[in-house]
Amino acid sequence: MATFRKRSGSWQALVKKKGFGQIARTFDTKAAAEAWAKITESEMVRGIFVSKKEAEITTLSEALDRYEREVSSSKKGHRREKTRISLWKNHPLAKRVLASIRGNDMATYRDDRLKAGYSANTVRLELAIISHLFEIARKEWGMEGLTNPVKAIRMPSPPAGRDRRLGPEELEKLLECLSEEMGQLVRFALETAMRRGEIWGMTWEMVDLKKRTVTLPETKNGQKRIVPLSSVAVTILKERLNTQRIDGKVWDIGLDAISQDFSRACRMAGISGLHFHDLRHEATSRLFEKGFDTMEVSTITGHKTLQMLKRYTHLRAEDLAERMK
């Protein structure tokens, strides 16, 4: 049987039942306290009651600290995610307990960020942290009764995939403005469809010139990938053999310097709207144009879904028209 006590203008409901201990909650009115007690007792009788005590005393800020310590710290993208966590900890919602956060709170956050000019993808990533935090809290932190508020809202639509293709004349101009090593690296990217970080992180231990492969032990999606090498890619690597480093790295250039040098060369060559990552789009499209099927291309590029592969593939209509003759 529930009992009710008036305390400092509020009403406290206490429900005590064998096997569940004593559960208490405070409400503004006695009616609200009685309604909660009735539902709680009913759930206990039916054996479906799940305590929300932890979720009702843990603030979002406290949960974010634990999430960063136990979950985010082991992710490959921890540095970038740490920035998003800091953003959330400075938001007014961080002072609220987890059980009080609802879908409308997330919807308001989404709309405010979009109105402030942040991209849909940025907002999606920010909301994804909260969604994952709530799922971890439900499954691993003893907060089974918690509801994930992000699942109750519409996520911002992802941006359309870039469709920038690199023209033959643009490539010639670009190579004229690049150093010898950067020229090799750009041509290697076009032959392999590898990501910037994957190319930069290559060591000679990963390279097998006889089998014409590069083995990437851990890629962006956390899995190993073996990239086949074209004759052009093999020639480029053979050229690099004369510049072997003590640490076994294939390339001398730094990770950030790759993007910086590429952007600088584009400006010198008068090329606009081209990013280094567009070379992966270009290379993927070229693989299809060479006649490789979807499974073969996904094996080379490492794309896990057809949807992602489509976002990285932009076939020229005029080239398709030539094949239709």
Among 223, 210, 65, which Cα is nearest to 129's? 65
Q: 3-state DSSP call for residue 161?
A: coil
Residue type, 254: G
- The single residue of 53, 165, 277, 314 carrying the catalytic annotation is 277
Q: How far apart are CA 205 and CA 207, in angstroms?
A: 6
| 303 tagged catalytic | yes
**pTM of the full structure:** 0.60
Whole-number pLDDT of residue 56: 73
| 280 tagged catalytic | yes
| 195 tagged catalytic | yes
Whole-number pLDDT of residue 254: 92
Lowest average pLDDT, out of 40-49, 94-103, 204-213, goes to: 40-49
Cβ neighbors of 76 (< 8 A, separation 6 or more) are: 220, 222
**pLDDT at residue 57 tops 80:** no
| 78 tagged catalytic | no
Confidence of residue 68 (pLDDT cuts 50, 70, 90): very high
- Model confidence over 75-130: pLDDT tens digits? 777 788 899 999 999 999 999 989 889 999 999 999 999 999 998 989 999 999 99
Domains by residue range for the chain, with CATH: 3-49 (no CATH), 57-152 (1.10.150.130), 168-323 (1.10.443.10)
Distances (CA, A) of 88 to 39, 59, 112, 211, 305: 33, 12, 14, 48, 30
Residue, of 140 and 222, whose pLDDT is higher: 140
| 124 tagged catalytic | no
Edge-first strand order for the sheet with 213-216 is 207-208, 213-216, 225-228
